[in-house]
Amino acid sequence: MRETLPSAIEDYEQIPFQEFTQKAYLNYSMYVILDRALPHIADGLKPVQRRIVYSMSQLGLASTAKFKKSARTVGDVLGKFHPHGDTACYEAMVLLAQPFSLRYPLVDGQGNWGDPNDPKSFAAMRYTESRLSQYADIFLSEVDQGTSDWVPNFDGTLNEPKLLPARLPNILLNGSAGIAVGMATNILPHNLREVAKALIHLIDNENTSLDQICKFIKGPDFPTEAEIITPRSEIKDIYKTGLGRVKMRAKFHVEDSEIIFTALPHHASTEKIYEQIASQMEAKKLPMVSDIRDESDHEDPTRLVVIPRSNRIDLNALTDHLFATTDLEKSYSFNMNMIGINGRPQVKNLVEILTEWLEYRAETVRKKLNFKLEKILKRLHILEGFLIAFLNMDEVIKIIRRSDHPKKDLIKAFSITELQATAILEIRLRQLAKLEEIKIKSEQKDLNSQKKELERILGKEKAFKKYIKEEIKSDAKKYGDKRRSPIKKRKEAEKFSVTDVMDIQPVTIILSKNGWIRSAKGHDINPEAVKFKSGDSLLGHLRTKSDKPIIFLDNTGRSYMLFSHTLPSARSNGEPLTGHLSIQANAHIKFMLSGENNNHFLIGSSRGYGFILKFEDLLTNYKNGKAVVTLKENHELLNPEAVIDLEKDYIAAITSKGRLLIFKLNQLPNLKKGQGNKIISIPKRELKPPVPETLNFIKILPPNANIFIYSGRHYLKLNPGNQKDYTGMRGHRGKKLPRGYQNVDRVEIVPI
């Protein structure tokens, strides 16, 4: 056994594991990109969608046919073209049928196919029935006219079209969404008539600009009457790059002092919006709203009523808040990533999409016309044979009756081709006798006329372009409709501030060393007297007002934000701050700040660097905070100092080796984040172990104030006159304090 095992292993191909995994991942990635997730620019369909449409056409499920069970269609798709899960296939089919999901549905459904509030609530495929929509004809009307390249199906028993010959750019009309490996796509739908006009203009003007195209294509057009509020300039930028975001806002009107929403953004749910508003009411964040009702029914699919508490409520401010805090306003990513004619995925701009699709359409039309021409030429050739047969009727009948090889004898006797001979033999003798020269020549005349017209269209570029334009105009008239999503200019929605929904009162925030936090009403509380859990003690406190945001700074230089109304009462032991904020495992809160947005603070580090920032630059809505101060290893954040006067104030900086430097505050830069500039110079030799020198204190020093420097039981008082000895320029070394005061424990600034 031990001897045979190695030889058995040697029989298999051996490759390095890394090489195997790389190839496997690459193959999988390309499969997902090309065969699952991304649509093709030609027909705007993914493979599963293309197979559903084609399979339904093969089942005879045209728009005029009777409905058939969806399970029949899904079974046909899986069995013949798409050997994957039936659930996934049916969900793809449902998406093609939902008028609230697709701008121009490809499937006409009967039964429960879901609703806007819950698109996934559709019935099982054994209960629903379906057929193709009229719009689906744009994919199928030319599929058997030599326009498609055919490829074997998964088991090689059948052929399927590689692409469908779409008569319109479905890639823009219905859009597409999908996630591949390393890339994604999200193409928003557009209005058919607008796109058709742009195509016609582009045919007539090949070098047209995006500005001219945007005169026809105003923007996306969703299957909802909600408003698109993205400015036209931004929409134009999206069309220029193929990337961006588009905002939609619910449509509403005021009736008897009630706000009634009648159209929601694409894929927004009245149920979810109802819950969002109700939760705000429960949290007492909407005291001006007394009630909310969902009155949606079959007659009014969307009717959401918000009832204000009184007639004095500013309805514009209320609706703005609702837009900013609920799905009444939604944002949609725009990523026009697709597989091009060259078979490669690429993000394309609007002009590139239209131009490339027109190239594909021109090639398709040329194939179609050549197919028709070949068919006419073949028929003319056969008619020539029929005419010969008519003129030699008796001899033809004689050869057919008596000859053992009538085809060969006919070819020899009348110098006709095999095709002509075959056509003559396939006609019944009774029909052959009825052949009339007039009928044959009449058909020849008609076909020759069609032949000349086709040759004219194919031979002249102008006529060819006109033919394509007429087809587009015809389809636009047949399938087009008015824009559903109006593009409106609206101001940015803003939610209520905390001051609008709560009573303003003084509060004291208490933070323990173990990171437990609580909020006490009033400023008269003594933080030192507050009880803590065993092993815990006071880290710091902050006196502020309930409407002011509280900023927390950790030892890594990140800032976090909370409001006092979200914190537990001081009557309890509080709650861990980590329950409110996502603080890194190696980090801990060091300082708390509060103030107005335009207040300034001095920020510094023990390395001797610092800068001035506004309080608003510390604000953040992210639970994991944001980086504000850049700190290197072993450097600590110093206690931030509130700035009184940017122009008149000074900075007093003291190092661990007793060096003091005083300089004008305006010598430091105003930054939003970073390391800042050098406050005091600390030579490299002083930074070396065992006891490296650090900046220990930075204080804001008004022009008329004394500095009290404490060292043990003693203190040194520096009045404005004595301070001049230590005054210099930012970044200088500073001057040593007198002996006995170089080991500084505490610094106080006392105004005179």
The rounded distance, in Å, linking the Cα atoms of 455 and 459 is 6
54: Cα within 13 Å, side-chain hemisphere = 28
Percent above pLDDT 70 for the chain: 95
Tens-place pLDDT, residues 723-747: 999 999 999 999 999 999 999 999 9
At residue 736, the 3 state secondary structure works out as strand
Q: What is the DSSP string of 460-501?
A: -HHHHHHHHHHHHHHHHHHH----SS-B---PPP-PPPGGGT
Which pLDDT belongs to residue 429? 61
Average pLDDT over residues 624-639: 92
Interior angle at CA 100, CA 236 and CA 160, nearest 5? 90
CA-based nearest residue to 130, from 168, 83, 201, 76: 76
Whether the pLDDT of residue 6 is over 60: the answer is no
Does 257 score more than 80 pLDDT? yes
Q: Give residue 10's pLDDT band: very low, low, confident or very high (50, 70, 90).
A: low
Q: Are 638 and 630 in contact (CB under 8 A)?
A: no
What are 513's two structure tokens?
Answer: 């060393």
Q: Are strands 129-132 and 107-110 parallel, antiparallel or unpaired?
A: antiparallel
Encode 112-165 in three state secondary structure. CCCECCECCCCCCCCCCEEEECHHHHHHHCCCCCCCCCEEECCCCCCEEECCCC
**311: how many CB neighbours lie within 10 A of its CB?**
7
- In this structure, are residues 180 and 29 in contact, taking their beta carbons and an 8 Å threshold? yes
Q: What is the pLDDT of residue 298?
A: 83
Given a cut of 70, whether residue 430 has pLDDT beyond it is no
Section 451-457 average pLDDT: 94
Q: Which amino acid is at 632?
A: K
Residue with tokens 């013949």: 80
Q: Would you call 614 helix, strand, or coil by DSSP?
A: strand
Which positions ≥6 away from 470 have C-beta within 8 Å? none
**Looking at 152-156, 212-216, 404-408, 425-429, which range is the least confident one?**
425-429
Best CA proximity match to 104, nearest among 44, 151, 162: 44
Report the C-alpha gap between 636 and 629 in whole angstroms.
10
Instruction: Give, in order, the Cα–Cα distances in Å from 617 to each of 296, 547, 553, 597, 638.
Output: 44, 18, 13, 8, 18
Average pLDDT of the residues in 154-176 = 94
Distant-in-sequence, close-in-space partners of 51: CB < 8 Å, separation ≥ 6: 77, 81, 82, 160
In the DSSP assignment, the letter for residue 645 is -
Across 47-51, 546-550, 630-634, which has the greatest mean pLDDT?
47-51
Let me know: does 192 contact 476? Beta carbons within 8 Å. yes
In which band, very low, low, confident or very high, does the pLDDT at 2 lie, cut at 50, 70 and 90? Answer: very low
Q: What is the pLDDT of residues 268-288, one digit of tens each?
A: 999 999 999 999 888 778 878
Alpha-carbon torsion (253, 254, 256, 261), positive or negative = positive
Determine the pLDDT at residue 33: 65
**pLDDT higher than threshold 80 for residue 479:** yes
State residue 681's pLDDT score.
95
Q: Copy the structure tokens of residue 659.
A: 């060096």
Record the tokens describing residue 216, joined without a space: 């026809």
Distance CA 440, CA 450 (A): 15
Contact 369, 457 (CB under 8 A): yes
Q: Across residues 690-698, what is the average pLDDT?
A: 93
| pLDDT the model gives residue 503 | 61
Counting every residue written for the chain, the total comes to 752
* pLDDT band of 203, cuts 50, 70, 90: very high
Does the annotation mark 622 as catalytic?
A: no
Instruction: Please indicate whether residue 287 or residue 672 has the higher confidence score (pLDDT).
Output: 672
Residue 516: pLDDT above 70? yes
Return the pLDDT at 471: 96
The chain-wide mean pLDDT, for the chain, equals 90
- Candidates 214, 224, 207, 177; CA nearest to 44 is 177
d(C-alpha 554, C-alpha 591), whole Å: 7
Largest CA distance in the chain: 140
List 104, 127, 479, 741, catalytic entry: 127
pLDDT of residue 34: 64
Q: What token pair was written down for 91?
A: 């969900």
Is pLDDT of 31 > 60? Answer: no
Phi and psi angles of residue 433, each rounded to the nearest 5 degrees, phi first:
-70, -30
Q: How confident is the model at residue 1 (pLDDT cuts 50, 70, 90)?
A: very low
pLDDT higher for 83 or 53? 53
Measured CA to CA in angstroms, residue 635 lies from 193, 472, 630, 639, 675 at distances of 64, 69, 10, 13, 11
- CA–CA separation, 89 vs 53, rounded Å? 12
pLDDT of residue 643 exceeding 90, the answer is yes
**pLDDT tens, position by position, 39-52:** 999 999 999 999 99
Task: For residue 576, say if its preceding peptide bond is cis, omega within 30 degrees of 0.
Answer: no
Eight-state DSSP code of residue 36: I
Q: Which of 39-43, 209-213, 424-428, 664-668 has the lowest mean pLDDT?
A: 424-428
Give me the residue label for tokens 């026009």. Answer: 336
Per-residue tokens: 741: 């005061």
Q: Is the pLDDT of residue 27 over 80?
A: no
| pLDDT score, position 314 | 83
